[in-house]
Amino acid sequence: DAGVIQSPRHEVTEMGQEVTLRCKPISGHDYLFWYRQTMMRGLELLIYFNNNVPIDDSGMPEDRFSAKMPNASFSTLKIQPSEPRDSAVYFCASSLTSGGVGQETQYFGPGTRLLVL
Amino acid sequence: AQKVTQAQTEISVVEKEDVTLDCVYETRDTTYYLFWYKQPPSGELVFLIRRNSFDEQNEISGRYSWNFQKSTSSFNFTITASQVVDSAVYFCALGIQGAQKLVFGQGTRLTINP
């Protein structure tokens, strides 16, 4: 079975540009998570969806960040406009829904390494 | 509030040595779940194990073993006969039933030297 798929794997952009990160969760998983990892702050949960509906976006740093999940097999995280401090590795993860967020194993994608110049 | 502490920021050992990574958690809930993930130099996060609070049996998977002790709120991870391929950052995480997110520790960077 395919794992979580993310694209692109690497992204280099200039400050002010729009960045779109993409994720395809594991088929059959009802939860989808977006994380950001930096040296300073570690692994941070940005937002998560359940059955394509955003449940908790309290981790989204600012209005420049937005996330959508138009269907069960696709999600995007958009940064507009991007800033150098957004440079990080962005992970998408998915899990089953039966036990809830705290109970089920989250399976992570390979991540997108974003560099904003 | 829930918290996970991985006090060892970095560990460096020589190949074939045994090494234990510590994980101490804090929660007042009686039902919770503990996880370990591995992040090799390539960057992906790989799931290793999930354990619920009602199962205190230790687990062994090849050279990997996990020691869950509720009395000390610890869920330690031991690699026996370490290999260079075990070099990675290892994260411990805590999940509470009904919670909105997993709580991750800061990670332990393990380096296995040949």
On the 0-12 / 13-18 / 19+ scale of CB atoms within 10 A, B113 is exposed
User: What pLDDT shows up at residue B104?
Assistant: 94
How far apart CA A63 and CA B39 sit, in angstroms, is: 30
Examine the pLDDT at B65 and tell me if it is beyond 70: yes
User: What pLDDT shows up at residue A2?
Assistant: 84
Asked if the C-beta of B34 comes within 8 angstroms of chain A's C-beta atoms, the answer is no
Q: What single-letter amino acid sits at B41?
A: P
Examine the pLDDT at B100 and tell me if it is beyond 80: no
Between strands A31-38 and A42-50, the pairing is: antiparallel
User: What pLDDT shows up at residue A14?
Assistant: 97
Closest CA to B91 of B15, B26, B21, B11: B21
CB within 8 Å: A43 and B104? yes
Confidence of residue A73 (pLDDT cuts 50, 70, 90): very high
Which residue among B45, B46, B100 places its CB closest to the CB of A101? B100
User: What pLDDT shows up at residue A115?
Assistant: 98
User: What pLDDT shows up at residue A96?
Assistant: 87
Give percent of chain B with pLDDT exceeding 90: 86
A39 interaction partners in chain B (CB closer than 8 Å): none
**What mean pLDDT comes out for the span A36-41?**
93
B99 interaction partners in chain A (CB closer than 8 Å): 100-102
Examine the pLDDT at A97 and tell me if it is beyond 80: no
How far apart CA A70 and CA A82 sit, in angstroms, is: 23
Confidence of residue A1 (pLDDT cuts 50, 70, 90): low
Joined tokens for residue A6: 């993310």
CA dihedral B36, B42, B44, B49 (to 10 degrees): -20
How far apart CA A36 and CA A69 sit, in angstroms, is: 18
Q: How far is A76 from chain B (nearest CA, A)?
A: 19
User: What pLDDT shows up at residue A46?
Assistant: 96
Q: Across chain A, what does the average pLDDT equal?
A: 93
**What mean pLDDT comes out for the span B1-22?**
96
Confidence of residue A58 (pLDDT cuts 50, 70, 90): very high
Examine the pLDDT at A69 and tell me if it is beyond 70: yes
How far apart CA A43 and CA B91 sit, in angstroms, is: 10
Q: How far is A101 from chain B (nearest CA, A)?
A: 6
Return left, alpha or beta for B68; rule: phi > 0 is left, psi -120 to 50 is alpha, else beta: beta
Asked if the C-beta of B32 comes within 8 angstroms of chain A's C-beta atoms, the answer is yes
Mutation to test the A interface, candidates B48, B100, B103, most A Cβ within 10 Å:
B100
